[in-house]
Structures are given as structure tokens and as C-alpha cells.
Amino acid sequence: MKTEITLSEAQAQVDQWIKTVGVRYFNELTNMTILMEEVGELARIMSRTYGEQSFKESDKGRELGDEMADVLWVLICLANQTGVDLTEAMKKNFEKKNIRDLNRHKDNEKLK
């Protein structure tokens, strides 16, 4: 059984799920708001796991990976809705970073 999934496969699988189980996509602004909500939930777990805040009863049972996957899911929905090919977008983003940041971090005294 294949366990890895490409960005293209993830986009196709989310689209198929939305169209069969989810009925339809929420509109783009609703999904943008849901994305912010999911990022907030991820931040909550991060701050309690790695920061100084303590866990509340309502935080128990939440997993970091699941919260990250929720963020990715909604981001993929937005990509699908707006016609963004995430594979191509990531390739372009790496190219941009490799040019813009070629020596930026190596030369950053704060990182030494």
C-alpha cells in the first residue's frame, strides 16, 4: 500500500472528497476564515506543547499532526477553488528562495 502522497494527489483527493462527501466547497472567504481558525487551533497546541502555557481540559486528545493536517486540508481547498497548482507553486517558491535567500541565512549573525 502506498503511504506517500504528492501535492497533486492531495489536491485531487480533497476535491473528490468535497464533491462526494462534503457536497460542495464553502466559498473562498468562508474557507479563508476556516483556515485562520485551524491555524489558531494549531497555535494553541504548539503554545501548550512547546511554550509556557499549560494544557486545558479541552486541549486533551488533540494531536499536533492532526492540527497541521487540518490546516493543510483547508489550504488545499483554497488552492483548488482558486486554480492554484500547489506543486508548481512550491517549485516556483523554492526557486525564489534559492535566489533571494542564497546567502541571507548564512550571513545572518543571529543564526551563528
Percentage of the chain lying above the pLDDT 70 cut: 98
Q: At a CB cut-off of 8 Å and minimum separation 6, what does 29 contact?
A: none
The CATH number of residue 36's host domain is: 1.10.287.1080
Q: What is the pLDDT of residues 30-77, one digit of tens each?
A: 999 999 999 999 999 999 999 998 888 888 888 999 999 999 999 999
pTM: 0.87
Is residue 100 in a domain? no
**Predicted local distance difference test score (pLDDT) of residue 57:** 87
Residue 18 domain flag: yes
Q: Tell me what the pLDDT averaged over the chain comes to.
A: 93
Range of the domain at 26: 7-84
Q: Give one word for 84, left, alpha or beta, with left for phi > 0 and alpha for psi -120 to 50.
A: beta
Q: Could you give the number of structural domains in the chain?
A: 1
Is 95 inside any structural domain? no
